[in-house]
Structure 1
Amino acid sequence: MTDHVTDRIKARSWRESVVEYIRVEATPADKFGHQPRLYALAQQIAKGQDCDDDVLFAAAWMHDLGVFIGHRPSDPVELARWDHVPYTISRSRELLPQWGFPAEKLEVVAETIRTHEAKYTPLVPEAVVLRDADILEQLGAIGALRAFVKVGRDTRYATYSDVIPVLERALTVLPGLLQLEVSRELARERVAALRSLLEAIRAEAAGNLH
């Protein structure tokens, strides 16, 4: 990022600065939509929970920084071993204070980012909310879009057939990992939509999906 862009970001409120930074850094461009959707979901889930909205905002917008092109390794072998979370936490600790984010909240942001993936056990309320929101983003029509867009540009997914098992696993495993009742309620419609889509794909492909 050029110095004049960095300076322009610093002149904004810290939330505006975060959004502007991610808008510039989110590559491929379709990666950008995940952040505002995730924060909106987190806000919806967090109603009635003892959560700090500053932490939720910062963690939701920054949590995937290490998966963007330019932040992750370009070498395929290194990329296959890449864990983006430590990098994202480190960069968040560096960048957020520069934009005016409260320093005393940085460790909670780090902890929330650390356990945002379904395979981890969240230990703070904000992490529980963000993890549930991230799981919901892998279900429904949005989950399918996010999976299918990887075909041909992610070495793990050369064809549509490579994506189907990922969506099937999401359908069978992820809903059971949600921790909050409000999240489970939100998941019902998404699960039904994803199940219907997979059934339609199987029926229309008639064994010839590639």
Structure 2
Amino acid sequence: MTQELGPLARRLALPYYDDALPAHDRFHAERVRDVALRLAGESEGAVDRDVLAAAAWLHDIGRPLERTGEIADHDQWAAREAADLLATEGVATDSIDAVEHCIRAHSVRASSPEPETPEARLLFDADKLDAAGARGIVRLACIVGERSGRAGERYAVIDDASAAGADAPDDPDVGLLREWARERLDALYTPAGRRLGESRWQFMEEFFAQFSDEIGVDGER
């Protein structure tokens, strides 16, 4: 069963992403899987790649329900749901427990447990790395749009929230991209993850500099 765990988890997970928004959809899960396995290949020590792949596919299956308010904590809900799904398929208990821990520990929330296994640390890092680099900028912009868009508006505010009658933040929304990305990169656990993170951060620094140049901020509007 362990050799089939990754593909099995993919099959079980995909229906849960049908109602997902772009920042946490099936393609995010697939990117996390790919990066997690890449980091595993660059890491010392043994890694259960089947557990890692399965956890990556299943880690955000609760996001659509959390977004609509049906559940309060997508990682804890997803851990329980994944355990039930895998148990129904006859997956070994030790593999289920390992996947469940990875999912419970993948979030940056203060309530999330520390990742205690190599697989959990690699999943955490891969998930956070999807908020860095070129793809990370696009993905974080999607999250800003999800949170800052107003009912009846087609587009979210990027530069100045006061234009939509909302309270103006200390920084333009794009400043949130920098803040969120840096917060996640500073939390990485593995040497391989930190190396990749710094490479992606260099690109983001160039992007933010270009963004500022294009705005041409001079203190007046």
TM bin (shorter chain): 0.7 to 0.9
Cα offset, 1:92, TM superposition:
0.6
Gaps of 5+ in 1: 1-12
1:6 aligns with none
Assess if the C-alpha contact under 8 Å between 1:140 and 1:190 holds in 2. yes
Aligned residues of 1:132 and 1:179 also touching (Cα < 8 A): yes
Partner of 2:162: none
CA shift, 1:88, in A, is 0.6
SS at match of 1:72: helix
TM-score scaled by length of structure 1? 0.78
After TM superposition, the score normalised by the length of structure 2 is 0.75
Whether the aligned pair in 2 keeps the contact of 1:58 and 1:109 (CA below 8 Å) is yes
Matched, 1:90 2:80: yes
Q: For residues 30 and 45 of structure 2, what CA distance do their matches in structure 1 show?
A: 20
CA displacement at 1:132 relative to structure 2: 1.2
Matched, 1:116 2:110: no
1:160 partner SS: coil
Contact 1:14 1:99 in 2 (8 A): no
Deviates more, 1:106-115 or 1:95-104: 95-104
Post-superposition Cα deviations, 1:26-60, rounded to whole Å, max 9, x if no partner, equal 13363111111111111111123322112101111
Q: Distance in 2 between matches of 1:125 and 1:163?
A: 35
Work out whether 1:190 is the aligned partner of 2:184.
no
Instruction: Give CA-to-partner distance per residue, 1:86-116, whole Å, 9 cap, x none.
Output: 1111111111122343222111211111111
Q: Does 1:127 align with 2:120?
A: yes
* Aligned equivalent of 1:61: 57
The aligned length equals 189
From the superposition, tell whether residues 122 and 165 of structure 1 become closer, same or farther in structure 2 (CA, over 3 Å). Answer: same
Determine what percentage of the aligned residue pairs are the same residue: 25
Aligned to 2:48: 52
Distance in 1 of aligned mates of 2:12 and 2:216: 45
1:145 aligns to what? Answer: 138
